[in-house]
Amino acid sequence: MGNYTIAVIPGDGVGKEVVDEGIRVMETLGMQDPALAFAFVRFDWGSEYYFRNGRMMPEDALETLAAFDAIYLGAVGDPRLPDHVTLQGLLLPIRRAFDQYVNVRPAILYEGIESPLKGKKPGDIDMLIVRENTEGEYSDVGGRVYQGSDREVVVQGAMFTRWGTERIIRYAFDLARQRPRKHLTSITKSNAQRHSMVFWDEVFRAVAKDFPDVQTSSQLVDAACLNFVLRPERFDVVVASNLFGDILTDLSAALVGGLGLAPAANLNPSRRRPSMFEPVHGSAPDIAGKGIANPLASILTAGMMLDFLNEKTAAGLINRAVAQVLAERKVRTPDMGSHATTRQVGDEVIRAIQTLQSP
């Protein structure tokens, strides 16, 4: 147990609403356990900050964030700004500066949730997708010349290092080893990308020799998309490059109830720099300010943060409370077919935590 200082970046749109519920849940845990305490420090960075200052966050933002135990992010994005402005102005600089090379996104089909896939029952889908988070296809390698002319040339490169590729694959193997099924699937496109993805396959096979207790398979990304839909129960832990992991995680979220139930973590496993935790959903400007955004992804993200901080009991309580609320089918936001508010769902999770903690 410990005292933690958490940097909170609510960001844009519904991010400002859903992080409040995650904070209330963590404060509830702290009030009931005197050995667990949180100090939350808010930063108003994001698109509104950009409109005032011409940048998504101040010049010394990374230096400021480095002092925190973790970063809790709501969402970034504004329809008035191109997506690359928000991504390159806040998310990617934080991920890269703090070497958050692991992106983990669980996809679990909970009791009380109906998958769009026919015949899938709670527990049939339970996978962890491990996405390389700092290089690969999002490395910003490339350029444009002769812009606006009929001679315009655009080059977009992908950067894969042996060091970076090996460490993300090794991390995924470590996760697979800790799970009952002990299975890891690598996703590539090595039939078409004969340099980067053939290289990835080679590294994967080399690292696999150090994990004889973990079963492995490799799939091309197009086949993996097909099998996510047709046979999702076959997947346990999945490891993929930055781009392929990004695509597959949104697909997996759709299979288990949507982005409103999709948490995520950007991890620096060395713990020498803070990790960042954010729900997968975006800023959802169409419902921002209405108080109806689903906070469960943000609350589950808080659970991932506590788990990474080695607060396993508190993290477990969050996960069990969310599972209980979903199984009861009583309090749900409009995206889940009902009419509850963001606050009411947060209240219900807090009630469930208090019930679970009662003697």
- How do residues 95-154 score in pLDDT, each as one tens digit? 999 999 999 999 999 999 999 999 999 999 999 999 999 998 988 899 999 999 999 999
Active site residues: 146, 189, 222, 246, 250
Stretch 54-67: mean pLDDT: 96
Q: What is the pLDDT of residues 182-218, one digit of tens each?
A: 999 999 999 998 999 999 999 999 999 999 999 999 9
Contact 113, 256 (CB under 8 A): yes
Residues 164 and 103: their CA atoms lie apart, in Å, by: 13
CATH number for region 1-101+267-359: 3.40.718.10
At residue 270, does pLDDT exceed 80? yes
Nearest to 278 by CA among 57, 77, 110: 77
Q: What is the DSSP string of 300-338?
A: HHHHHHHHHTT-HHHHHHHHHHHHHHHHHT-S--GGGTS
Q: Where in the chain is the domain with CATH 3.40.718.10?
A: 1-101+267-359, 126-255
Residues 83 and 50: their CA atoms lie apart, in Å, by: 13
- The beta strands (E) that lie in the chain are given as 3-11, 37-42, 70-75, 102-108, 126-132, 136-145, 153-159, 183-188, 215-220, 237-240, 265-267, 275-277
Place of tokens 């590729």: 165
CATH topology of domain 126-255: Isopropylmalate Dehydrogenase (3.40.718)
Eight-state DSSP code of residue 145:
E
Instruction: Report the percentage of the chain scoring pLDDT > 90.
Output: 92
Eight-state DSSP code of residue 80:
T
At residue 1, does pLDDT exceed 80? no
Alpha helices in 33-87 (DSSP H): 47-53, 61-65, 83-86
Could you tell me the pTM of the whole model?
0.94
